[in-house]
Copies of this chain bind each other. A is one copy, B any other.
Amino acid sequence: MIENPYYSPEFHGSYELFSLGDFVLEEGYTLRDCKLAYTTFGELNEAKDNAILVTTWYSGTHQIFRDAYIGPEHALNPEKYFIVVINQIGNGLSSSPHNTVGPHAMSRFPHVRIGDDVRAQEKLLREQFGIESLELVTGGSMGAQQTYEWAVRFPEKVKRAAPIAGTAKNTPHDFIFTQALIEAITSDPGFRDGWYASPLDVREGLHRHARIWSVMGFSTEFWKGEGWRPLGFASEDDFQVGFMDAYFEVMDPNDLLCMAWKWQRGDVSRLTGGDLGAALGRVTAKTYVMPISEDMFFPVRDCEAEQKLVPGSELRVVDSVAGHLGLFGFEPDYMPQIDRHLGELLETPA
């Protein structure tokens, strides 16, 4: 266990913890007293049929959804819906390498899969709130992986699904991209096979990791058009130091690696013996597949290929010059598109 002030309510706002007890992972290890950090917005009605689940992406927490996606002016409207944002295992707020004691601490934290998260989330919603049906499951990037997993694993519980900027089955290119991110961290001599005394010992690796994100996370056009300038930076490097490096350098390296391993292996076809068409054919949720137009590593065509396998689904491309990290919602025309698509989806009978 390592004290890390970043993973606290000061940085992320208040949240609750749900204890899963001893949670057995797909890979055959038991996380003792496994906890999910979550936060809710709005009120669950008596029929318990107004719930929305939001899942989190790599390095993300509920905070970005609270700040950018959820509010009375958004489709994710807490005046109408009971919105639960559940932090993925390994993200630093839920059970993660850095906050675990005992045999699974630090780099001994076992491998976690998308399916583990989704099973844990289902248990939380059922046991804590009695929720048996979700009006919508949505999330971006790794959150899209969880969204797909929900729709395939628990089709009877998911009325609508909106995977944003992510895939049901991770692609080979995504795997090697993530591997480059991993190696940027693990190659830092300060990483010491995961037994660093402080995340600061791995700062250079975290910076390299951030810089590879700069290459793939934003589009060529974002950089050409100086898309960082409206965000209040004076140069490309100013943006990288002040935004990208700063964003990642406070995080725990083992936590990032836990998520990276999980991301690399997200694949709903594990539920159907490797048959992706059969897996996505199970989906009964009304589904909008929402890739980002300039995404460098979840390109529209990869998302569209999966969309065609989901019965009754629609492809809703989100235009964003930023690319994948447009997910942060800093472009003025980004959230209006998200709200329009999610709003239309929520109005669709399901």
Contacts and interface: CB of A to CB of B under 8 A. Distances in A.
A78 to B, nearest CB: 37
A175 interface: yes
Contacts of A8: none
Range of interface residues on chain A? 35 or more
Contact of A188 (B172, B187, B211, B240): B187
Contacts of A240: 176
A263 interface: no
A184 B211 CA distance: 11
What does DSSP make chain A's interface, helix, strand, loop or mixed? Answer: helix
A226 B220 CA distance: 25
A224 B176 contact: no
A171 interface: yes
Interface stretch (A69-77, A276-284, A293-301): A293-301
A176 B301 contact: no
A221 interface: yes
A180 B302 contact: no
A261 B180 CA distance: 21
A168 B74 CA distance: 44
A20 interface: no
Nearest to A179: B211
A316 B302 CA distance: 26
A210 to B, nearest CB: 10
A296 B296 CA distance: 8
Contacts of A172: 223-224, 226, 236
A173 B211 contact: no
Most chain-B Cβ atoms within 10 A of its Cβ — which of A187, A226, A240? A187
Contacts of A208: 180, 183-184, 187
Contacts of A171: 220, 223-224
Interface string A147-176: 000000000000000000000000111011
Interface of A: 171-173, 175-177, 179-180, 183-184, 187-189, 204-205, 208, 211-212, 214-216, 218-224, 226, 236, 240, 296-297, 299, 301-302
